[in-house]
Amino acid sequence: MARKATTFDLFSAIAEPRRRELIEKLIGKELFVNQLVALLGWKQPTVSKHLKVLKEVGVVSERKEGRMRVYKVNAPSLKPVQEWVNQFENYWEYNLDNLEVYLEDIQTKKEE
C-alpha cells in the first residue's frame, strides 16, 4: 500500500498551482466556466476538472444559470488552512535558536 487519494483533501486541493490560480480568478466575483476558460487560457475540460476538485472540498460552489454554470469561491472553506498556519505565527518574529529547548532536549536524551 502506498498512497491515499489526496484530491479530496482541502490542503491538497489548494496545493495544485493551477488550482490556486483558478481560485484567485474567482476572488470577489462569480464567473461562468467559459469566462474562466478565457481568463486562464486553459482547455475547457481542464478547467472543469479542476473546478470539480475544488467543489468537492468546498472551496468553490456552483449554481446553474441556464446552460451555464456560475462558480464562486466559498471563502470560509479556507479557514482551516489559515488556522493551521496561524499556529506558527508566534514564532515568526525571532528565528531564535532557542537554546533552552535545545538544552532540554539534550538533557532528555541523556536520561533515556
Partner DNA sequence: TTGACATATTCCAACATCGGAATACGTTAG
Partner DNA sequence: CTAACGTATTCCGATGTTGGAATATGTCAA
22: partner contacted, choices a second copy, DNA, none (Cβ within 5-8 A by kind): none
Give the H/E segment covering residue 63: strand 60-65
Q: How far is the CB of 83 from DNA (least distance, A)?
A: 22
111: partner contacted, choices a second copy, DNA, none (Cβ within 5-8 A by kind): none
Q: How far is the CB of 81 from DNA (least distance, A)?
A: 16
- Phi/psi for 37 (5° steps) reads -60, -45
Q: How far is the CB of 75 from DNA (least distance, A)?
A: 20
What pairing do the DSSP bridges indicate for beta strands 31-32 and 60-65? unpaired
